[in-house]
């Protein structure tokens, strides 16, 4: 079936406000043309992120009422521990308030200055947490991950040749662990194949290097394995997940994605010594080991969410809904990154707006136009997020890909709203030459995308919807 019908019905609704173009134009001016600075109440369809934006199920809400808020030994922790072990299979389960704290605890314990951490592509918080230890974060994804037209089914794969070269170049003793991000968010939500994970493991074994997963979107990755990799078509989702994690020594997890919760995360690993050191640090910065910066009710919602996310019907709908949006756009000739990712569709801003040079922020200009004309919020993943100054020449180095990410929250929007998004973008594409570039008026020294301010270089003609 083309149309991925919802495997749930709606019990609670949250009204969303329609705004006028004039109102949005004013809000954008106040926000310095940065959609992060626009109040969420004035957004019609919010595709800024799929992180922490999921709708919880009735069972998760019921679980919230069963929160055991004891300081130590909450039953919800034991439930979470049992659930995480049953899927991920690692010995220690350390709850954190979200993914970046799991990263921080792991890297501050085992990464020392001058070391290197290879990954397919580090997400920005992962990179920042590695670099915070004065270590180097190396992105070793296969080369065709950077070609938006290549439709290889596992574009998140690690480049094994580059990984082995790296080990030889920097030396095994400078690599405390390797990571694989599933799915690979910064590369377009692309999956990693089981075969590539198996081979990565075999290669790392030869050098005695541990492997950790950045498991944020593990269920979506497992669904792609089932769909695309020979030998898995009839394998249950849980079996696929267990096999995948069996090739690792641990994982970091932002449960705000495939944990189907609004807040939460964890770190899970086998090594007793590391777990002890991490737990000591956890007590210092997060809380007691059986709550780790969360309420008992949050732990319960996370345990239940992890069980629900491996439901194949849910995943078929989830991946199907994202694909449905991507296919509507693709059929209309809109330039998107191929193949369509697990959690988001990425517009290729450079091809959408060929008349705007990268120095004038075409991705950001596209995100601004989408909000102003249709009330849709998306995020730029391009020059604003990843542009860097060349330390030698002072010139701006532009990233290879200039994208606008349409991240779909889980179980939140109906297919009709997704259709509205597609129709809006198709409409915008017809009048794309009316979109003009932007110039920065303020930027923060790090993670500038959150607070940057812009001016519009030339006012676009009013566009009526």
Binding residues (CB under 6 A) for ligand P61: these are 49, 51, 98-100, 123-126, 181, 185, 214, 216, 254, 256, 265, 447
Shorter beta-carbon distance to ligand P61: residue 167 or 193: 193
Shorter beta-carbon distance to ligand P61: residue 87 or 384: 384
Shorter beta-carbon distance to ligand P61: residue 124 or 443: 124
Q: 350-369 b/e with 16+ CB inside 10 Å = b?
A: bebbeebebebbbbbbbbbb
263 burial type by CB count under 10 A (0-12 exposed, 13-18 middle, 19+ buried): middle
Shorter beta-carbon distance to ligand P61: residue 120 or 436: 120
- Candidates 174, 176, 164, 138; CA nearest to 269 is 176
Shorter beta-carbon distance to ligand P61: residue 54 or 68: 54
The DSSP output letter for 314 is: H
The DSSP output letter for 274 is: H
| Cα pseudo-dihedral 275, 280, 284, 289, rounded to 10 | 60
Give min distance, CB of 405 to ligand P61, in A.
Answer: 8
Contact 368, 353 (CB under 8 A): no
Q: Where are the alpha helices (DSSP H) in 230-354?
A: 237-246, 272-285, 296-308, 312-331, 349-352
Give min distance, CB of 73 to ligand P61, in A.
Answer: 25
Shorter beta-carbon distance to ligand P61: residue 336 or 385: 385
| C-alpha radius of gyration, the chain, whole number | 22
Give min distance, CB of 294 to ligand P61, in A.
Answer: 12
Contact 228, 245 (CB under 8 A): no
Contact 100, 254 (CB under 8 A): yes
Give min distance, CB of 197 to ligand P61, in A.
Answer: 16
Shorter beta-carbon distance to ligand P61: residue 167 or 178: 178
Q: 157-187 b/e with 16+ CB inside 10 Å = b?
A: bbbeebbeebbeebeeebbbbbbbbbbbbbb
**CA–CA gap between residue 173 and residue 150 (Å, rounded):** 36
Shorter beta-carbon distance to ligand P61: residue 98 or 424: 98
Strand partners, 46: 377
Contact 237, 222 (CB under 8 A): yes
Give min distance, CB of 430 to ligand P61, in A.
Answer: 29
Shorter beta-carbon distance to ligand P61: residue 49 or 290: 49
Measured CA to CA in angstroms, residue 9 lies from 5, 53, 58, 307 at distances of 11, 18, 11, 19
**CA–CA gap between residue 23 and residue 414 (Å, rounded):** 25
Give min distance, CB of 464 to ligand P61, in A.
Answer: 32
Count of beta carbons in the 10 Å neighbourhood of residue 30: 11
Give min distance, CB of 83 to ligand P61, in A.
Answer: 18
Give min distance, CB of 272 to ligand P61, in A.
Answer: 25
Give min distance, CB of 168 to ligand P61, in A.
Answer: 28
Shorter beta-carbon distance to ligand P61: residue 42 or 120: 120
Q: Where are the alpha helices (DSSP H) in 132-271?
A: 160-170, 194-207, 218-228, 237-246
Give min distance, CB of 366 to ligand P61, in A.
Answer: 17
The pair of structure tokens assigned to 358 is: 């990268």
Shorter beta-carbon distance to ligand P61: residue 167 or 222: 222
**Region of 293 on the Ramachandran plot (φ > 0 left; ψ -120 to 50 alpha; else beta):** left
Report residue 254 CA to chain centroid gap: 9
Residue listed under structure tokens 């949005």: 24
Residue facing ligand P61 at closest CB distance:
99
Shorter beta-carbon distance to ligand P61: residue 223 or 436: 223
Give min distance, CB of 403 to ligand P61, in A.
Answer: 12
Give min distance, CB of 121 to ligand P61, in A.
Answer: 9
């Amino acid at each position: 079936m083309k149309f991925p019908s919802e495997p749930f019905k709606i019990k609670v609704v949250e009204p969303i406000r329609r705004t006028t173009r004039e109102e949005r134009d004013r809000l954008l001016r106040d926000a310095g043309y940065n959609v992060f600075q626009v109040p969420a109440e004035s957004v019609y369809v919010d595709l800024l992120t799929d992180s922490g934006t999921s709708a919880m199920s009735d069972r998760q809400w019921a679980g919230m009422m069963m929160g055991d808020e004891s300081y130590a030994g909450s039953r919800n922790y034991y439930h979470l521990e049992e659930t995480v072990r049953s899927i991920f299979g690692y010995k220690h389960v350390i709850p954190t308030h979200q993914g970046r704290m799991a990263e921080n605890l792991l890297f501050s314990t085992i990464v020392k200055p001058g070391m290197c951490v290879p990954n397919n592509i580090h997400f920005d918080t992962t990179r920042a947490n590695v670099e915070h230890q004065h270590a180097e974060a190396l992105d070793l994804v296969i080369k065709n991950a950077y070609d938006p037209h290549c439709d290889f089914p596992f574009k998140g794969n690690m480049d094994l040749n580059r990984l082995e070269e790296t080990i030889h170049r920097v030396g095994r003793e400078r690599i405390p662990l390797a990571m694989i991000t599933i799915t690979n968010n910064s590369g377009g939500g692309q999956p990693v194949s089981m075969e590539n994970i198996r081979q990565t493991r075999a290669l790392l074994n030869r050098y005695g290097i541990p492997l950790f997963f950045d498991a944020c979107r593990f269920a979506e990755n497992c669904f792609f394995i089932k769909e695309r990799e020979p030998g898995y078509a009839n394998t249950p989702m849980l079996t696929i997940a267990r096999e995948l994690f069996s090739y690792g020594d641990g994982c970091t997890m932002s449960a705000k994605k495939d944990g189907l919760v609004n807040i939460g995360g964890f770190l899970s690993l086998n090594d007793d010594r590391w777990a002890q050191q991490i737990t000591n640090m956890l007590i210092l910065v997060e809380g007691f080991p059986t709550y780790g910066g969360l309420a008992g009710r949050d732990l319960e919602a996370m345990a239940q969410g992890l069980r629900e996310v491996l439901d194949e019907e849910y995943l078929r709908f989830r991946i199907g809904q994202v694909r449905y949006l991507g296919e509507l756009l693709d059929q209309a000739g809109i330039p998107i990154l191929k193949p369509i990712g697990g959690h988001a569709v990425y517009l290729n801003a450079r091809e959408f707006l060929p008349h705007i040079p990268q120095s004038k922020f075409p991705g950001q200009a596209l995100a601004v136009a989408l909000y102003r004309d249709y009330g849709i919020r998306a995020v730029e993943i391009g020059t604003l997020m990843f542009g860097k100054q060349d330390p030698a020449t002072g010139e701006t180095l532009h990233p290879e890909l200039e994208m606008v990410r349409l991240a779909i929250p889980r179980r939140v929007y109906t297919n009709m709203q997704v259709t509205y998004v597609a129709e809006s973008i198709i409409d915008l594409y017809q009048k794309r030459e009316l979109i003009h570039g932007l110039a920065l008026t303020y930027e923060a020294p790090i993670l500038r995308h959150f607070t940057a301010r812009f001016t519009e270089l030339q006012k676009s003609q009013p566009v009526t919807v």
